[in-house]
Structure 1
Amino acid sequence: MSTLALLDNTTNAPSGDWQARVARAFSRAAELYDERASAQRRIGEGLWQRLPGTAQSVVDVGCATGGWTRRLAERYPAATVTGVDIAPGMLAQARKRGGRVRFREGGAEALPAGDQSVELIFSNLALQWCRDIDAVMAEFARVLAPGGRAVFTTLLAGTLEEIGAAFNRPGALLDYTSRADHRCAADAAGLRLTRERTHLERFYYPDMAAVMASIKGVGAQIARPQSKGLTRRDLKAATQRMEQRRTPEGLPVSYRCLTLTLERP
């Protein structure tokens, strides 16, 4: 019997275990990531418009296969640019693609960078996988030089709500950090909020197979350790529910996005 696992927050899992499972899931998806990450690319283009004119040291947090990292190196040709990711498989793909960048394994809560050594932190759709946003903001404050900026996009509650409803398992999706909690964490870390935007991005797919490929193909599937996952019967029922939402454009999948620009005074 075939099974399919949806995202699972598993709130009682230890932080280290959660990070290891996230890393494994994204490593498994690394070879197909660029092919299937269309939503991530479109949302990242909006974040790209927030970048400052100059920067001498740049860190791409959650760099995946390094697409944005290499673009950052092109935009800031005199800068030292580093891509950081917790998934060894993603980093292996990033290194194969080369470019004037370096890639290092690490997470947002413990960046491989010295105190006050970074002028720009860029992160596109990675921080929603972090359990402790206070630790992330404190780490950003640690590595940012005075006047340095962090620009990032993350996800809010309501993301993938069509999929949660289709599988009748809304609690199986990530427990997203709220907009208010992001702001509080940044303020507690001593970071100044300079710009903020929340918006909805909706993507359309021809069928349920394409919907699931868009999630699985970017690594965003983490099963509960002792879960039996989802059976073919579950998938058939979910497909029927999803079809009830079909529009002329296709089957909709929503991403509720939060984009922030923070500055270290």
Structure 2
Amino acid sequence: MSSAPLPRPAVPPDWPRRVARAFSRAAPDYARLAGAQHTMGMRLWSRLPDRAEDILDLGCGPGHWSARLAERYAPAGRVIGLDLATGMLEVARQDQGAAARVSWLCADAGALPLASASLDLIFSNLAIQWCPDLDAVLAELHRTLRPGGQALINTLAPGTLVEVAHAWARPEAPAALLDFCGRDRHLSATRLAGFRQVTVTASQPRFHYPDLASVMASIKGIGAQTARPGARLTRADLARARQRYEALREPEGLPVTYQLLSLELER
């Protein structure tokens, strides 16, 4: 039996443009609404190596982690904050400024405009799940890392936002997410890319919100939603979704569960 990875389901040809547009629109509110994303990023932060000079923050968003990486590895650290969404980079430049010692770059993770063997560390918190070609992304990470370099990645697996899917329970539900890859698929892609050491850890962080509007704001407000052409929600749709979600309410509020994969890769 062949060990070649199965291809990812087909995605719309304009997917990168839709993702970039959604995250650009969300950029002004991202920092305020990304509490869950920040919490998950802190898990990755605790795994950072002691030393690194040339660093890439892949999918940097408004630049929070880029600035922290520059501070963490000062004075020698040189950080590139890279994102597909120009709106995110505009906010990053405005909020982080030159003092963060970060250069900002708009590019696709599957085709990095960086020299081979030019990086010591790649940090990526909840970005690569939006990339339709996982093999291409991991191949690029391997190519741009120096021997012994590390990539620390948080990404999402199937079952993420299961409560949201249950509440809407219809194909045109507003959380129009790309099909996520599971742990085995990520392991296959890392081996295909040629990484020498690979650790993939799965966890299920859960967050709570007071109502459906807050749940949806936490998704839409960070850009994690792309509009499906022709989708129109009625008041009846909204009332039905609210009722279904309320049936899941816990003492802390309405639950939102992420299936988190944390990858530690060494070239």
Residue-pair matches, total: 253
Partner of 2:73: 76
Aligned ranges 1:48-197 → 2 under 5 Å: 48-77=45-74, 78-97=76-95, 98=97, 99-169=100-170, 172-197=176-201
**Runs of 5+ unmatched residues, structure 1:** 1-8
1:222 corresponds in structure 2 to: 226
Q: Distance in 1 between matches of 2:245 and 2:9?
A: 25
Mean CA deviation greater in 110-119 or 28-37 = 110-119
In structure 2, the gaps of 5 or more residues are 1-7
2:239 aligns with one of 224, 236, 240 = 236
TM-score, length of structure 1 as denominator length: 0.92
2:4 corresponds to: none
Flag the 1:223–1:256 CA change in 2: closer, same or farther, 3 A.
same
Q: CA deviation at 1:194?
A: 3.7
- Residues 87-122 of structure 1: per-residue CA shift (max 9 Å, x gap): 000000000021211110012101231110001000
Per the TM alignment, residue 50 of structure 1 is displaced from its structure 2 partner at its CA by 1.0
Contact 1:164–1:170 (CA under 8 A) maintained in structure 2: no
Q: Which residue pairs with 1:211 in the alignment?
A: 215
- Superposed CA deviations along residues 123-147 of structure 1, whole A, max 9, x for unmatched, are 0000110111100111011100111
Q: Could you say what secondary structure the match of 2:259 adopts?
A: strand
The verdict on how the C-alpha distance between 1:68 and 1:23 changes in structure 2, with shifts beyond 3 A counting, is: same
1:242 to partner: Cα distance: 0.2
TM-superposed deviation, 1:198: 0.4
**Pairing partner for 2:263 from 246, 260, 263:** 260
RMSD: 1.5
Q: How far is 1:170 from its partner?
A: 6.7
Q: Deviations over 1:175-212 (max 9, x none)?
A: 10111111111111111234321000000000111001
| Letter of the structure 1 residue corresponding to residue 87 of structure 2 | G
* Alpha-carbon distance in 2 for matches of 1:90, 1:145: 28
Name the CA distance, whole Å, in 2 between partners of 1:242 and 1:258.
25
User: CA deviation digits over 1:200-259, x for unaligned, max 9?
Assistant: 0000000111001000100111122x3223222211110100000011100000001000
For 1:168, the aligned partner's letter is A
Residue 18 (1) aligns with residue 15 (2)? yes
Q: State the TM-score, normalized to the length of structure 2.
A: 0.91
Shifted more, 227-236 versus 178-187: the winner is 227-236
2:252 is aligned with 1:249:
yes
Q: Is the 8 A contact 2:212 2:245 kept in 1?
A: yes
SS of alignment partner, residue 187 of structure 1 = helix
Cα distance change on mapping 1:218 and 1:56 into 2, 3 Å: same
Instruction: Call closer, same or farther: CA 1:116–1:177 in 2, change over 3 Å.
Output: same
Query: Matched residues in 2 for 1:120 and 1:177: separation?
Result: 23
Q: Does the 8 Å contact 1:81/1:102 carry over to 2?
A: yes
Change (3 A) 1:207 1:47: same
**Secondary structure of 1:239's partner?**
helix
